[in-house]
Amino acid sequence: MTGLHGSVVTQSAIIRVCHYNIPINIRSAVPAAHAHITLHHLEARLLDNAQEQFTSGGASGATSQTSDVDRSGTPRFSPQDRQARREQYAEELRQLLDDSAILSTDEQLIPYESDGLTAMRATPLLVVLPETTEQVQAILRWARSRQVPVVARGAGTGLSGGALPHEDGIILGLAKFNQILSLDAEHGVARVQPGVRNLAISDAARPHNLYYAPDPSSQIACSIGGNVAENSGGVHCLKYGLTVHNILEVKVVTIDGDLVTIGSAALDSAGYDLLALLTGSEGMLAVTVEITVKLLPVPEVARLIMAAFDTVEEAGEAVGAVIAEGVIPAGLELMDGPAIEAAEAFAQCGYPTNVAALLLCELDGMEAEVDAQIQQVTRVFERCGAASQHIATSEAERLQLWKGRKSAFPAVGRLSPDYYCIDGTIPRRHLPTVLRRMDTLSDEYGLRIANVFHAGDGNLHPLILFDANIPGELERTEELGSRILQLCVEVGGTVTGEHGVGMEKINEMCVQFDPATLTQFHAVKAAFDPQGLLNPGKAVPTLQRCAEFGAMHVHKGQLPHPNLERF
Amino acid sequence: MDTDDFIKDCQAQVTSAAQHKETLCIVGNNTKAFLAPPSAAQTLSLSAYAGIVSYEPTELVVTAKAGTTIAALTQALSEQGQMMPFEPPTFAEQDTLGGVIACGLSGPRRPYTGSARDFVLGTSVINGQGEHLRFGGEVMKNVAGYDVSRLQTGARGTLGVILDISMKVLPRPETETTLVFEQETPNDLAPQIKLARQPLPVSASVVIDKQRFVRLSGSQASVDASVQRLGGQVLHDDAAFWQSIKNLTHPFFAASDGDANSLWRISIADYAPALPLVGQWCLDWGGAQRWLITDEAPTAVFAACAAAGASATCYRHSDPAAQRYQPLDDTLLSLNRAVRQSFDPHGVFNPDHFHTETRA
């Protein structure tokens, strides 16, 4: 079985999603006509990993509910049994929550079948929507005593299936935790609930000339709780860091129902740095109910240079040259020819067409410094052979040029009925090699690839263009995606820069990590959640799964036993 | 001994200790021994495991072995106009990268550019079962697997033997200037707080001996503009001053040597009011890291910190057996214990370091 490597978009799917009133992440929707094919693959994938973990992890605490696990991918309970459990659980949860906070009918559950990776779907037994921390504690205590899997969910914009429901479990929706509890402008901190949207924090801080730095492209919709779970970045993270660098404290509820404060208003706290461990842990260790974020002063000025190059290699070298010059841009983005054309056609933002690569370089800070850096960077680009350069002359033009980049995904979607977005990171010096090998792979699979690249930090988003209506093309796309991710690992990179492993990249984790390291990850999980009830089956594959996937762990391009012939 | 042999040797030491229920004290060049009580455990030394493994200046990433000295690494980075942005403190010439990372030490630049853990990207580690594991990597954006590399930072070697460390590095600022202001009330935080909320290129801010020192780092243009805006006296030879703050060699710290006084590091919100503890104070990190020289009992220091949401670590005490770490509350303690035991189920590593009650 091959992997599914990202979000898939079709027009029909968006319509379908709208119909159910789901907050839409435009970047991802399911190819409706082929949903059943995908579902077949993914259900199997989910159930394999989840049930192995659910049973092996919870050996001591497992009850009869987990004893009859079927690893073939078929649902564990019969439809009648599922319905009986649903009713029984709902009845028990009514002791803890208002009736209106428990969703159990098909119409209520359908919107929760997937997150932003809508190609993977599963129906939970129930969705619960608590409003207070005490309710979250009570729900988790209940889940622990009943051995029910719990999948926490924020806005559901994640792109790796991290909030994909467990068929035998409940979704713990945190949408009602939507309050900014305090915003202390004098001290540059805000206390927020996990369901608050990322952009809402900056909006609230803006009157004080402050903002929250991480800006994932889904920031209009994504929630801060989800950002913590995924350690989200954004286009400005080269200079301003990821979520882990911009939060001070989280309050979490453990599977035992304990409320624990991790971190503090200080810059470090006693004990292990559990704040770092929890950030990016994909809902596997605890459920976040409150976050204290840092707010930064808005830079005096931000200016944008757009530079066009005749080859992607030249543009890649120009990125290195800027950094060698001692300049750390606030954002540094690269697009290749197909991505530029698509973005320009979509957003009419003023990009030159007929160029092989475009760099967007944003500089921010004090006016005097930014002026000097603009001069410095334009000189570097010229030296590196830029075909043309343009400095945005107004704030409106700067935003317009960014708009093209930020809409690159839906724009590429217009070139092709469907696309997959891949999320690998590579050491930047390997960009030419990786692009060349991707070209070869593209020819081999007969599928076009467009590239957008967070060039400053090496995070590559190849978009594979395909048509799900052509039989077999989806499967070929999945396989191509998996090969690209394995290529990223081979050159010393990673299978996910910012979208998370979730369920979609679970197989490729076997390539990046050896069995001993994966076993250590499971031990870390067990330290928080010995029964494996929080988001079971995600983020870390079982060793059995890796054996079945058959991939070899590759460290820095060194295959184990390189002297052996391979066919 | 080549790298592979060295690692195998370490693994064998750990496996044997685990089998025989023995303990190992992990050391580099043993320059930070004063931070922990004396230990009877056998030594596992990384002193010989030194050298830069890879360094790509344009990638802003360096990977080095744990025994590499901070001095050697600083030199190599400096030749390329780069630096470790967390400004690692060093207490002797031979301080190692492994020691700095294991202790999670960061210097005056920390509140403005980030801490040691913020810049760690990847580690290779031997866990308590003698397994050689690799976490994170050499790229800045990487969310595959739990962030064990940052967890190792500051864990004082209780979660494994750190072998290799990959870090993000940054260009050295074009120029730096330090301004001095008189400050009669050492604990008045208002000027520091006001400073922190402005978009100025501040890279250090400390109050010591009734003076406030503010360092500005960046392009000549931005530093000049900031100096204009802030006023104050320019401090000449400021590099030596910041070295003395970072490495605790400023005369202020001498008062804690060898008498009844102890030296405490208190991590606290930069805006938190003065703690009710009697002694001499130095406010680094814009008020977020406060040094206290006092004859108050450890229990009194811990109690005052707990009440203020702060945490204290003892750096020097005349009684080597004095409690050194801020006690953890029950739920946090049990999580810390579970995490430690997931890496070191036989309680092999650094039995006398960190929160000893978390050991298996």
Give the tens place of pLDDT for each residue, A110-162: 999 999 888 889 999 999 999 999 999 999 999 999 999 999 999 999 999 99
- 3-state secondary structure (DSSP) of residue A201: helix
At B63-79, the pLDDT tens digits run: 999 999 999 999 999 99
Provide φ and ψ at B63, rounded to 5°: -125, 130
Flag whether pLDDT at A413 surpasses 90: no
B254-291 confidence digits (pLDDT tens): 887 667 789 999 999 999 999 999 999 999 999 999 99
Which candidate, A519, A516, A513, A514, places its Cα nearest to that of A501?
A: A513
Q: Is A250 on the interface with B (CB under 8 A)?
A: no
Q: How far apart are CA B191 and CA B180, in angstroms?
A: 12
Query: Does B6 touch chain A if contact means CB atoms closer than 8 Å?
Result: no
Question: Nearest C-alpha of chain A: how many angstroms from B351?
Answer: 15
> A553 to chain B: which residues are within 8 Å by CB?
none
- Distance separating alpha carbons of residues A232 and A224, to the nearest angstrom: 9
pLDDT band for position A51 (50/70/90)? low
Of A143-152, A200-209, A414-423, the least confident: A414-423
Q: Which of B144, B148, B197 sits opposite A512 (nearest CB)?
A: B144
The shares of helix, strand and coil residues in chain A, as percent rounded to the nearest 5, are 40, 20, 40
Average pLDDT over residues A294-317: 94
B341 interfaces chain A, CB cutoff of 8 Å: yes
A229 vs A5 pLDDT, higher one: A229
- Whether B226 has its CB under 8 Å from any CB of chain A: the answer is yes
Between CA A529 and CA A287 the distance in angstroms is 11
* Cα A351 from Cα A355, distance rounded (Å): 9
Half-sphere exposure of B116 (CA within 13 A, CB side): 24
Chain A residues with CB-CB distance to B141 below 8 A = 233, 237, 242, 425, 454, 457-459, 494, 497-498
Put simply, whether A206 touches B (Cβ < 8 Å) is: no
Under 8 Å CB-to-CB from A185, ≥6 apart: which residues? A205, A208, A210, A295, B197
Q: Examine the pLDDT at A256 and tell me if it is beyond 60.
A: yes
Least confident residue range of A71-75, A439-443, B77-81, B208-212: A71-75
Q: What dihedral angle (degrees, nearest 10) is formed by the CA atoms of A339, A344, A350, A356?
A: 30
CB contact under 8 A, A272 and B159: yes
Q: pTM of the full predicted structure?
A: 0.91
**Contact across the interface for B199 and A365, Cβ inside 8 Å:** yes
The answer to whether residue A543 neighbours chain B at the CB level (below 8 Å) is no
Question: To probe the interface with A, which of B141, B222, B230, B267 has the most A CB atoms within 10 Å?
Answer: B141
Predicted pLDDT of residue A551 = 54
Tell me what percent of chain B is helix, strand and coil, each rounded to the nearest 5.
30, 25, 40
A410 or B332, higher pLDDT = B332
Q: What is the pLDDT of residues A359-378, one digit of tens each?
A: 999 999 999 899 999 999 99
φ, ψ for residue B203 (rounded to 5)?
-125, 0
Tell me, what's the pLDDT at B38?
Answer: 82
Q: What is the pLDDT of residue A502?
A: 95
Q: B56 and chain A: CB distance < 8 Å anywhere?
A: yes
Give the pLDDT score at A48.
55
Residue A205's pLDDT is 98
Which residue out of A244, A261, A366, A487 would a mutagenesis test of the B interface target, given it has the greatest number of B Cβ atoms within 10 Å? A366
Judge whether B86 and B113 are in contact, CB under 8 Å.
yes
CA nearest to B306 within chain A: A270
SS3 for A255?
coil
What part of A 545-564 touches B (C-beta under 8 Å)?
Answer: 555
Distance from B213 to chain A by nearest Cα, in Å? Answer: 20
Structure tokens at B146: 């739990």
Q: Which residue has the higher pLDDT, A33 or A513?
A: A513
Residue-wise pLDDT for B114-147, tens only, equals: 999 999 999 999 999 999 999 999 999 999 999 9
Residues ≥6 apart with Cβ < 8 Å to B113: B85, B86, B170, B203
Helices then strands, each counted (H, E), chain A = 19, 19
User: Does residue A42 surpass a pLDDT of 60?
Assistant: no
What is the per-residue DSSP string for A123-161?
--SEEE---SHHHHHHHHHHHHHHT--EEEESSS--SSS
Give the position of tokens 């494994």. Answer: B160
Residue ranges of A 315-334 with Cβ closer than 8 A to chain B: 320-321, 323-324, 326-328
CB contact (8 A) between residue B309 and residue A427: no
Cα distance between residue B211 and residue B91, in whole Å: 24
b/e map of B153-185 (b: 16 or more CB within 10 Å)? bbbbbbbbbbbbbbbbbbbbbbebbbbeeebee
Distance from CA of residue B27 to its chain's centroid? 16
What confidence score (pLDDT) does residue B197 get?
A: 76
**In what helix (H) or strand (E) does residue A398 lie, and over which residues does it extend?**
helix A395-406
Our measurement of the distance from residue B281's CA atom to the centroid of its chain's CA atoms, rounded to an integer in Å, reads 19
User: Is there a contact between A276 and B115 if contact means CB atoms under 8 Å apart?
Assistant: no
Instruction: Answer yes or no: is pLDDT of A457 > 60.
Output: yes
Cβ of B197 and A428 within 8 Å?
no
Contact residues, chain A, for B325 at CB < 8 Å: 270
Number of neighbours of residue B60 by Cβ within 10 angstroms:
25
Determine whether the interchain pair A260/B174 forms a contact, defined as Cβ–Cβ distance below 8 Å: no
Q: What is the pLDDT of residues A275-302, one digit of tens each?
A: 999 999 999 999 999 999 999 999 999 9
Residue B355 is classified by DSSP as -
What string of H, E and C letters represents the secondary structure of B142-165? Answer: CCCCCCHHHHHCCCCCCCCEEEEE
Residue A39 has pLDDT above 80, yes or no: no
From the CB of residue A526, how many other CB atoms can be counted at a distance below 10 Å? 15
Q: Is the CB of residue B264 less than 8 Å away from at least one CB of chain A?
A: no
Decide if pLDDT at A46 tops 80: no
For residue A532, list its beta bridge partners. Answer: none
How many CB contacts within 8 angstroms connect chain A with chain B? 265
- Find residue A451's DSSP bridge partners: A462
Query: Which positions of chain B have pLDDT values less than 70?
Result: 257-258
At residue B258, the pLDDT reads: 65
Percentage of residues in chain B with pLDDT exceeding 70? 99
Q: Which chain B residues are closer than 8 Å to A300 by Cβ?
A: 199
User: Does A270 contact B at CB distance below 8 Å?
Assistant: yes
Q: Which of A21-35, A492-506, B131-145 has the lowest mean pLDDT?
A: A21-35
